[in-house]
Structure 1
Amino acid sequence: MKRTILFLILTSFLFVNACGLKGSSENEKLRAEVIAVHDEVMPKMGQLKSLERKALERAQELESEDTIDSAKVEEYKSLAYDLNHANEAMFEWMHQYEKEDGDKSEEELKQYLDGQMLQITKVNVEMKAALDNAKKALK
């Protein structure tokens, strides 16, 4: 009798833990992946601002010349805009990102994190593209 009760308690405990942790561990893994995408480009935010300043300086230098190459001025201003936009996109994402799960169910949390993965991936791609374009243009 004791063995049967012990067996049932142990089986119930294992079943509850296995089912409860499955969603939780999947969401923890997904949250870690979201943060990893963020962490990949977060350290490059300083580069964004530095290159934005360089692009604006180049535009101002060209504007002060006797013969203004307005296409080149616009190119540098556009580059500066893209760099600033990528920087702002990261700030916006960080501001709205919820670090805590709150009262969300496992499914709601998964949907939230899936959406966050899409958003931060878009920010990641935008930042990398802006940095690549700036490095090419500001050689």
Structure 2
Amino acid sequence: MFALPLLLLLGCTEGGASEQQELEATVLAKHDSAMARMGDIFKLRRNLRTLRDTLATHETDSATLQALSKELEGLNRADEVMMDWMHNYKAPDSLQHEQAMTYLRQELQKIERVQVVMDSTIAAAQKTYKTYEQQQ
């Protein structure tokens, strides 16, 4: 008589844990995907700085230099957004299931926003770099 309710309770608990593990794995996979783009940010920053410095020595117009500086600032912000998320993320090990699920859903939304910021910033910086690289 007690076995059936106990089995149902254990089944729900295991299912909840599995659901939580899956959600946490999704959050961490999004993080890993975003981290893979950090190399793009570092490379673009280096290339944009070099290009800006080279063009500055050739007395390029200030609008071009400002455009390159603007993209550098954007890449710095994208880097900061990612680092902030990483520093603030805490594994929900000590939370109850529902609290952990709520936390993980919020973190999933945050890391997805980080990805959007990074992707759009990288795309804009690549476009700007290609545009002005030809002026060297």
What's the TM-score once normalised by structure 1's chain length? Answer: 0.84
Say whether residues 1:36 and 2:8 are aligned partners.
no
SS in 1 for 2:91: coil
- The answer as to whether partners of 1:37 and 1:120 remain within 8 angstroms in 2 is yes
Cα deviation, residue 100, structure 1: 4.2
1:105 is aligned to: 96
1:4 is aligned to: none
1:78 is aligned to: 70
- The answer as to whether partners of 2:92 and 2:100 remain within 8 angstroms in 1 is no
SS in 2 for 1:23: helix
Cα deviation, residue 15, structure 1: 0.9
- Give % identity: 31
User: Which structure is larger by alpha-carbon Rg, 1 or 2?
Assistant: 1
Cα deviation, residue 74, structure 1: 0.8
- The answer as to whether partners of 2:92 and 2:103 remain within 8 angstroms in 1 is no
Cα deviation, residue 42, structure 1: 0.9
2:52 is aligned to: 59
Matches within 5 A, 1:115-130: 115-130=106-121
| RMSD, matched Cα | 1.6
Say whether residues 1:92 and 2:84 are aligned partners.
yes
- The answer as to whether partners of 1:90 and 1:123 remain within 8 angstroms in 2 is yes
Q: Which has the higher contact order (CA 8 A, sep 6+)?
A: 2
SS in 2 for 1:138: helix
Report the number of matched residues. Answer: 130
SS in 1 for 2:37: helix
Unmatched segments (≥5 aa) in structure 1: 1-7
Matches within 5 A, 1:22-33: 22-33=15-26
Cα deviation, residue 113, structure 1: 0.6
What's the TM-score once normalised by structure 2's chain length? Answer: 0.86
In structure 2, give the amino acid aligned to 1:64. Answer: T
